[in-house]
Structure 1
Amino acid sequence: MPPIRIPRSVRLIATGMTPLNPRSTAAKVSPSNLMQQALRLALDNAGLGLRDLNGLIAVPSLADTHFMEAHYLATQVGMLPGKSKIVRTVDTGGAGPVTGLLEAKRMIMYEGADLVAVVAGDAVKNLTGEEFLKRADQTCNHPAAELPSPVIPSGYDRIAQYQMKNFGITREQLAASSALMSIMASRHPSALTRKPRTIEEILSARHVAPVTSVLECARRADGGAALLLASSNFLERKGIARDTGVVVIGGGEASGPLFPPKSIDDMNEDMFSCEEAAGVAYEEAQLGPRDIDFFGLYDCFPICLIRAVEAVGLAPKGHGGAYVEEKYHQILDGLKRDPEGFHPQDVFPVNTHGGLLAFGAPWEVPAMYNIIEAFAQLTNRAGPERQIRNARRALVYGNGGIFSASAVALLSRL
C-alpha cells in the first residue's frame, strides 16, 4: 500500500553561510550585501535560482536597518516587483531566525508558497565600540528597568544573580558554560574561537557586569546566513528527491517582557518564555527530550544556556548549572584520556559549533547557526570532529531581547 501523501509537507532543503568577519575591498561590509551572499549560497547549494523563490523572510539588522527589511532585500535581488510573491519581515530579536523558519513553514502550508528563503545578516563588527554600545543599549532600555550600560549584559547579569540566589548556581558554573562552548568551537573550522578557554581564564577576564566577564558575552561579528524551505510538491515538480533535507516537525513560540524588572522576584518565573515555547513544540511533534539527538540552544550569556538546558528538559529546573559544569569536566577528562579519539558531542550533544559564546554572533543572526548546525548533523555533514552518531532529530532555540521572545523548532531527517 503506498504511503499517505501530505500535499504540503515542509522540508529545509539547503542552507548558506558567509564567512564570519569577511574581508572586503570596500570600506565597509553591509548587512544587505551579506544577506544577498548568503541567499545566493543557499540557492547554489540547492541547485536553484532566484526565479524559483516565491517567498522571502528577512530579519532586520542593527548596523543598517531598512524599513520593511524583507521588501528591501527582495528589491535588491530583483525578486520584486513581481507577482505571486510573499515577502515578510520578522522581528523577534535573536529568536528571529527560528521564528522565520516556523513562519516559512506556515507560508508553505497555508499561503501557497513553494520555496521560501529565510535570511539574516549583520555587520556589527564594523561599528565602533561606542556606536555598537549605543545601539545595543537602545534595544532593551527602559527607565523602569534601571539597567546600567551595557544594558543587555546587565540585564542577563541581573538574571544570573537571581539564579545564584534562588537556585544555588555558582560563579564557576556560569564560567563553565563559556569554557564548554569554547571546546566545541575549537573543533569547527569556521568558528572565531580556535583555542579552548579555562574556567580560570574566564573568571579572571575583565568584567562588564558583577557576575559577567567579557569572555561570557556573545562574540561580536559580521556575517550572513540563509535557509531554504520547500514544499513536497515543489520538490516533485523540480525532480528533487522527496527525502532531500530535513522535515520541520514541530514548533512553538512564547513571549516575556522586554526587560527584566528591578526585582525579578516580583515576576518570579513569568518572565521566562523558553519553557513554554519548548513545551508547545514537543506537544506538536509528540516528542520529548529523550527523542532529540542534537540541541542548538541560544547562549548569548551563560545564564541563557543554563536556563535553556532546563527549559528543553536536559536538566531539572534549578540544576542546569550543575549539569553544564558536570559535562564540562567529563569532556575535559575524556580529552585528557584520549585526545584523538574522544568526541565531546557524545557527552554533550549541544551547540557542536560553539554557540554565540564561541562560534560568533552577528547580532540577530546566530540562531541561524544553530539551525545550520542542526541541518549538518541531521544530514551527516558535520564532519568527523563534530558529527553525532545516528542523529535523527534536532531542537533549535532562538532567544530575543532579555528572554523577551522564544522560538523553538524541531527538525527530523525522516
Structure 2
Amino acid sequence: MGLQMSDTEIVIIGAGMHRFGRFPDETYGEIGRHAVREALKDAGLGWSSIEAAYCSTMYLPATAGARIMRPLGATGIPICDVEAACASGGVAMKQAIQGLKAGEYETALVLGVEKMPRGFMDPLMLYERWQVEMGMSTNPSYWAMRARRHMHEFGTTDLHIAKVAHKSHRNSVNNPYAMYRKEFSLEEIQNSQLVCDPIRLLEICAPNEGAAAVILATREKAKKLASRKPVTVAACTHTLTLYSADFRVPLDSVSATKTNPGPTERTSALAYEKAGIGPKDISLFEVQDTDAFCEIEIYEQLGLCPEGDAGKLIDEGITEIDGRYPVNVSGGLVCKGEPVGASHLGQVVELVWQLRHEAEKRQVPNAQVGLAHVLGAGGNCAVTILKA
C-alpha cells in the first residue's frame, strides 16, 4: 500500500499554449516560454507566484526545464524534468499534483514542450537493439498490425478509419493551435499515400514542435489567486501496462494474453474511480490518436462501447462534435501533430478552454467534464479528468 495523500482538492487556474507545428526560427526555450507566459497571463499571475515547476519532454537536453524557465526569473524554485514517452505530460501533471497534495507547495506550473526531428522517431530511444534489428520497431508497423487484427476480428473497415480522420480534419479547421487546418474529403483521405497498410498519410500524426502549460493550485490558494472560476482536477492517473508493452510488437514478454487488461483500460478505470464517474458522465474526450485507427480502439478501451462495436459509433456519428461522445474536437494528434512532451498538456489545455466555454467554433455544447488520454512506449498511459 502506498502512502495516503491528503484529500486537498487541486484546480487549474491558468492555461496557455504555443501552436503545434514546425518553427525553424524559434528555439525550444522560446517555444516553452511562450506557453508559460500565456498560462501566467491567463491566471493573472507573475512568475514569482509559482512555487515549483515540472517540465515534460522526450527529445530535449538535460535540465531543459531549468533552461527554459530560469530566464523568467531566478527565483530558486525546484524545476523538475519528466520523461515517460508519449505519457510524459500526464506524469508531470501527476508529480505536480502529488507535491501540492503533500503540502510542499500551494502552486505549481506544468509545462510540456518538444522540438522533434522530422520523420519516424528514433527506435533506439524506445526499444532494445535486438528489437530494432528484428524490423518491428517503426511505429506504423505495429499500429497497422493492430488495425488489421481488429478488422479481422470485428469487421472494422478502411472506411471506418477514413471516417475518423475525416472527422478530425474537419474539426481542426476551427483550431488555431493545430499544425494542419484543412478539411479533406473521404475520397482524398482514402486515396492519400499508403504509409503502412491499412494506414494512410492523412490518417497518421506527424512528430513536430510545440508547447502547452497549466498552473495548478490547491483550492484554498486558488480562492486567493484566481481571477475566474478554476477548473477542478477530478483525477490524474498513470500506470504501466502489465506483462508486455500493451500487447503490440515487439513484445517484451510472451506471457501476455488477451484477457489481461491493457494500459488504457487499467488507467482509465483508476481515473473513473478516482473521479467518482463513468464514461457516460464525460462531455468530451481528447485521446491518443497517433493514427486514426488508434482512436477507434480507444473508444472501446475507454468504455464508450463494447469491444468490436467502435465502427457503430463512427457510422452513427456518436463521436462527432455534436454527438453523444465528442472525441478529439481539437483535431487530435492527426491534425495537431505530436510534440511528444507537450501532447498531453495540449489535451488538458483544450479541455480547460472547453469547460470554460471558450473554444469558440469548436465548442462542445454544455461541456462540464472532460477526459484526456495518452499512451506511449513501454505501456506508459496517463488519463486526466477535469470538471468545470
Q: TM-score, normalised by structure 2?
A: 0.88
Partner of 1:73: 68
2:10 pairs with 1:10: yes
2:68 pairs with 1:93: no
The change in CA–CA distance for 1:208 and 1:54 in structure 2 (over 3 A counts) is: same
Match of 2:314 among 324, 345, 349: 324
Task: Give 3-state SS (helix, strand or coil) of 2:139's partner.
Answer: helix
> Which deviates more, 245-254 or 349-358?
245-254
Q: What is the CA–CA distance in structure 2 between the aligned matches of 1:262 and 1:66, rounded to whole Å? A: 27
Does the CA-based 8 Å contact 2:93-2:236 persist in structure 1?
A: no
2:111 pairs with 1:119: yes
Q: What is the CA–CA distance in structure 2 between the aligned matches of 1:192 and 1:110, rounded to whole Å? A: 38
Partner of 2:383: 408
The CA deviation at 1:360 is 2.9
Q: Over residues 139-173 of structure 1, what are the superposed CA-to-partner deviations in whole Å (9 max), with x where a residue is unaligned?
A: 33442476647701112112212222233322221
The change in CA–CA distance for 1:280 and 1:262 in structure 2 (over 3 A counts) is: same
Partner of 1:194: 181
The CA deviation at 1:111 is 4.1
The change in CA–CA distance for 1:208 and 1:394 in structure 2 (over 3 A counts) is: same
What RMSD over aligned residues (CA atoms) do the two structures have, in Å? 2.7
Does the CA-based 8 Å contact 2:163-2:314 persist in structure 1?
A: yes
Q: Which runs of 5+ in 2 are unaligned?
A: 1-5
The CA deviation at 1:346 is 3.9
Q: Which runs of 5+ in 1 are unaligned?
A: 1-5, 332-343
The change in CA–CA distance for 1:136 and 1:214 in structure 2 (over 3 A counts) is: farther
Q: Over residues 263-312 of structure 1, what are the superposed CA-to-partner deviations in whole Å (9 max), with x where a residue is unaligned?
A: 89973444830011000011111101111111111111123211211122
Instruction: Give the letter aligned to residue 373 of structure 2.
Output: Y
Equivalent pairs, count: 377
Equivalent positions of 1:112-151 (< 5 A) are 112-124=104-116, 127=117, 129=118, 132-133=119-120, 135-142=121-128, 143-144=130-131, 148=135, 151=138
Match of 1:381 among 335, 354, 358: 358
Q: Over residues 307-335 of structure 1, what are the superposed CA-to-partner deviations in whole Å (9 max), with x where a residue is unaligned?
A: 2111222111122233224328x96xxxx
Does the CA-based 8 Å contact 1:86-1:113 persist in structure 2?
A: no
2:166 pairs with 1:179: yes
Q: What is the CA–CA distance in structure 2 between the aligned matches of 1:326 and 1:265, rounded to whole Å? A: 37
Task: Give 3-state SS (helix, strand or coil) of 2:86's partner.
Answer: coil
Q: What is the CA–CA distance in structure 1 between the aligned matches of 2:40 and 2:215, rounded to whole Å? A: 7
Match of 1:246 among 221, 224, 231: 231
Partner of 2:274: 284
Q: What is the CA–CA distance in structure 1 between the aligned matches of 2:80 and 2:200, rounded to whole Å? A: 37
Partner of 1:39: 36
Equivalent positions of 1:312-391 (< 5 A) are 312-327=302-317, 344-346=321-323, 348-383=325-360, 385-391=361-367
Q: What is the CA–CA distance in structure 1 between the aligned matches of 2:22 and 2:147, rounded to whole Å? A: 33
The change in CA–CA distance for 1:303 and 1:43 in structure 2 (over 3 A counts) is: same
Q: TM-score, normalised by structure 1?
A: 0.82
Task: Give 3-state SS (helix, strand or coil) of 2:20's partner.
Answer: coil
TM superposition outliers: structure 1 runs of 4+ over 6 Å = 263-266
Does the CA-based 8 Å contact 1:296-1:350 persist in structure 2?
A: yes
